[in-house]
Amino acid sequence: MRTLPLLVTMGDAVGIGPEIVVRAFLQGGAGGCIVVGEPGVLQRAAHLLQPLGVPLALIESPQALSQVPPRALPVLRPPGLPAGLAGLPWGQVDARCGAAAAACIRSAVAQVRAGQASGLVTAPIHKEALAAAGVPFPGHTEMLQALAVDAADALPPVRMMLANDELRVVLVTIHVSLRRAIELVTREAVLQTLRIVHASVRAWDGGAPRIAVAGLNPHAGEGGLFGDEEQTVIAPAIAQACAEGIAAEGPFPPDTVFMRARRRRGYAEPFDVVVAMTHDHGLIPVKYLGVERGVNVTLGLPFVRTSPDHGTAFDIAGQGVADASSLIAAIETARRMRGA
């Protein structure tokens, strides 16, 4: 797998995705990668960065990467793209962009599953555009989960991890309302998350991760005074995980646990990763440390998938000022995970 290219999807055509993809190539952070996207969209983004744009090399399959001239951007155009994407106004929700983003993801996953590529790095998509296009998934994670298997197969359990060079956080629940998320925090969901974290991180780090588990309620329930989910749901899941040889501890108060897993020079923190119960509980601490350094990793898929930890940034799309650091970090993370 390490000799195969990574595929990078262009993201929403009128967001910053195409721009940061091109910028990553120009900065030398995407060597050995192939962009799955619309050539016209990518060339429009390239003109934001340099007046003459960049040379594009259209290829029919990942195997043709070796034939791409030096300094050319290799592009694989998927089937099913709507017409006129390169002429759409920047930063506006459009169903055609949602349909195009989904087509790029489907094509990239098919190539990875066919053994033609070693993993997938996805530029940001817009959830409203995806919904407007009739795509029945709220985001990347759920769509990739469905595409990872054949229609008749059971969906693989997956989890979202957001990470940077200081902190790794994995979520039990993701893109649902807070009210629904609390309902989804079950003993089995927590235990399944711990199993996925243990297996996934061990696979690329080479050792069993030390997992801190955050509580759901203030002060981790304060002995049941502020809620009993820690006692009835989370603690029993941790106990079962420990019985299976997983190094998990908690539940800890969610407002302080992240400091115990933050890696800083000169400090030896006791934990390698934090498991948080809800989306914002877990992602606010990571993003506060800097979205330009963050990487989103989908754990539990049968292939490598990473992405930047930011969105489409419609407010700055088309201005040529978007930072590619998080995308480059996502590419570097994907390379490490595949063993390259």
Residues 11-67 have pLDDT tens digits of 999 999 999 999 999 999 998 899 999 999 999 999 999 887 899 999 999 999 989
Of 43, 24, 35, 80, whose CA–CA distance to 59 is shortest?
35
Residues 202-239 have pLDDT tens digits of 887 778 899 999 999 999 988 888 999 999 999 999 99
Q: Is the pLDDT confidence value at 156 over 60?
A: yes
User: What pLDDT does residue 303 have?
Assistant: 93
Q: How many CB atoms lie within 10 A of CB 24?
A: 26
**pLDDT grade for 340, boundaries at 50, 70 and 90:** very low
> Are 48 and 19 within 8 A, CB to CB?
yes
- C-alpha dist (Å) from residue 139 to 8, 125, 323: 17, 8, 22
**pLDDT grade for 316, boundaries at 50, 70 and 90:** very high
Residues 118-146 have pLDDT tens digits of 999 999 999 999 999 999 998 888 899 99
The arrangement of strands across the sheet holding 119-122 comes to 56-58, 73-76, 33-36, 6-9, 119-122, 304-308, 295-299, 159-163, 168-171, 273-276, 211-214, 248-252
Q: Is the pLDDT confidence value at 339 over 70?
A: no
Residues 162-206 have pLDDT tens digits of 998 889 999 999 888 999 999 999 999 999 999 999 999 888 777
Looking at the chain, how many residues does it have?
Answer: 340
For the chain, what percent of residues have pLDDT higher than 70?
98
For the chain, what percent of residues have pLDDT higher than 90?
77
Going from the N-terminus, what domains does the chain have, and what CATH number goes with each? 1-157+302-340 (3.40.718.10), 165-289 (3.40.718.10)
Q: How many CB atoms lie within 10 A of CB 134?
A: 10
Mean pLDDT over the full length of the chain: 92
105: which residues sit within 8 A by CB, 6+ positions away?
9, 122, 125, 140, 143, 144, 147
pTM: 0.88
